[in-house]
Chains A and B, each alone.
Chain A
C-alpha cells in the first residue's frame, strides 16, 4: 500500500476497524457454514431424539433442559428436527447451485466465446427467464412435477441457470480480448481449449462469490417452497415446513415459530457474510470502494 492509498482510507483507526470487520465477515461466515454442515452431518448418526418420534404426551412444550428448543404438536423434539432440517436445506441448496453452475456456466462461456447470434440468443433467453420471478418459476415447476425435495432442487436450480450464464458471460467477455488469449489462439488452441485453460480459471473468483450468494438464496427459496408445501414432504424434516406447521399453534406455542426461522436466518446471514468476505478477498477492485 503506498502512502497515498493508506492516507486516503478514511482514518487510521477506522481503517483498522474496517479491516477487522472485513475479515470478520469471513470468519463468522465460515463458522456458520461449518456449524450448519456439522449439524447436517451429525444428524445422520445422532440427534438428541429421533426427529420423527411422535410423543403426543410431550406435545407443545416450551424450551427446557430436556428439549432445548421445545417440542412441536406431535411431541417431536424441535432441536432434533432443526438438525435434520439442516441436512435437507443444504442438500437442496447445494444441488440447486450445482444445477445452475452445470448448465449456466457452459452456456455463458459459449456466449462469450462465440458472440454473434449465439450470444444474442443466450442473452434473450436469460432476459426471458428473468421476466418470471424466481419463486414463481419454482412454484410452477414443483406444481408440474409434483411437490418433493428433488423437484424443489430442480426448480431452484432452473432459476440459477440464467444467473450463472450472465455472470460467466460478463466476466469472460473481457478476457477474450486479452493478449494471452489472442496468443493462445495464434498458437492454434480452439475455443473450447482456451475457455478451459484460460477463461474459466480467470472467472473462478466471480463464480465462487456468486455461488455463495445463490446458495444463500437457495436456502431461502427451499424454505419458502417447503413453507407453502411444495418442497420437502413428511417425514423429511424441513425448516420451512416447521414454520408453516407452527402457524397453527402461534397463539399457544410461539417457540415453534422462532427456532426454525432463526436457523434459516443465521444460515443465510452466515452465507451472505461469507460471500461478502470472499468478494473482498478475491476481487481487489471492490475492496477499495466498500
Chain B
C-alpha cells in the first residue's frame, strides 16, 4: 500500500513538473515585455535594461525556469511584477476566499446531487423521476455566471437576504464571511450538482439491476434499505470519478464567479495578472492550480481503493 501511494506520488510530481514547464513555455510566447509594461511607454532604455536584469529577464530560458520552479518546494513562487510583493503573500488572503468557496460549492454539488440522483433512480420512470431529471437537464444548461446574476436578482436585490457582491472577510466572525460566499457557491455548485445528479441516477439504476440487490431483498431488507445500503455504495464509484473531474471545473469556475460577485479570490488575481501582463504571477498561479487539480485526482484515485475493495492496492487474492 505504502509503495503504491509513493509510486503514485512520484508520478504526480512528474506530471506537475511537466505542467509547470508547459505553463512556463507558454508564458514566453506572451507578447509584450513585462519590464516595458511595468515602466510604461516612455521608459528610458537604460532603466528598462536595469529592470530586465533585476527581474532576471536577461538570463537564459532554462536558468529562469529552474530558478522559478526551484522556489516552489519552499513556498517561494516568485515576486509579482505589478505589486512588487512575493506571490505567496498575495496568495494567502485570497486562498482564504477561494478555498472555502470551492469547498462550499463542492459540498453543495454532492449534497444536492446524491439525494436527488438516488431518489430519481428509485422512482425510475415515475413523475418524481421526470421532474427531478427535467430540473437537472435545465440545471446542466444554465451557465454559472448567469445563475449568479439570477441569484443576485432574487436573493440579494428582491429578498435582501444576502449580499449581492463583495466579501466581508473572516475577521467579523464566520457567519459574516460565509454569508458573502453562499450565493457564489450556489451559482458554482448547482450546475455541477445537476450533472452529478444525472450521473448518480444512472449509476444507481445500474446497481439496482444487479443480482446482489435481489440477494439483499431475499435477506429481508426493505427496498429502501437495499437502495441505500447496497445499491448506493456501489454507485459511488462512478460518482467519485465525476466529482474529481468537477473539481477542475470548479477551480476554473471561480475565475468567472469571483468576477460576477466581485470576490477578492485567487481566480480574480489570475485574471487581473493576465490583464496586467504580470507574467510570473500568472505562471505561478496557473501552475499551482494545475497541481491542485492533479492532486485532487490523486485523492480520488485513493478514494477508489476505499470505495471499491476490488481496486484496493494490496488487497491480495
Q: Do chains A and B touch in the complex (CB under 8 A)?
A: yes
B282 adjacent to A140 (CB under 8 Å): yes
Question: B15 and A289: CB pair below 8 A?
Answer: no
Q: A-B pairs with CB below 8 Å: how many?
A: 130
CB nearest to A10 among chain B residues: B125
Interface residues of B, dominant DSSP:
helix
Interface pair B293/A131, CB less than 8 Å apart: yes
Residue B225 lies at the interface, judged by CB distance under 8 Å to chain A: no
By a beta-carbon cutoff of 8 Å, the part of chain B in contact with chain A is: 15, 18-19, 22-23, 26-27, 29-31, 124-126, 130, 137-138, 140-143, 145-146, 149-150, 152-153, 157, 164, 202, 205-206, 209, 248-249, 251-253, 255-256, 259-260, 270-271, 274-275, 282, 286, 289-290, 293-294
* Residue contacts A-B, CB under 8 angstroms, 9 given: A131-B248, A131-B290, A133-B293, A143-B275, A143-B282, A144-B31, A246-B149, A269-B140, A290-B202
Chain A residues with a Cβ under 8 A of chain B: 10-11, 14-15, 17-18, 21, 127-128, 130-136, 139-140, 143-144, 146, 216, 220, 223-224, 227-228, 243, 246-247, 250-251, 254, 257, 260-261, 264-266, 268-269, 272-273, 289-290
Having A130-B248, A243-B149, one finds 10 other A-B pairs with CB under 8 Å, namely: A131-B248, A131-B294, A134-B252, A143-B274, A143-B282, A227-B145, A228-B255, A261-B143, A272-B137, A289-B206
Of chain B, the residue at the smallest CB distance from A270 is: B141
A128 touches B15 (CB 8 A): yes
Could you say which residues of chain A place their CB within 8 Å of the CB of B125? 10-11, 14-15, 17-18
Contact B289 A136, beta carbon cutoff 8 Å: yes
Q: Do residues B251 and A136 form an inter-chain contact, with CB atoms below 8 A?
A: yes
Please state if B22 and A128 are interface contacts (CB–CB under 8 Å).
yes
Given A131-B15, A131-B293; A264-B143 close (CB under 8 Å) = yes
Given contacts A139-B274, A250-B153, contact A220 B143 (CB under 8 A): yes
Q: CA of A15 to CA of B274 in the docked complex: distance in angstroms?
A: 53
Determine whether the beta carbon of B157 is less than 8 Å from that of A250: yes
A140 CA to B253 CA, complexed, in Å: 14
* Measured CA separation A144–B125 after assembly (Å): 49
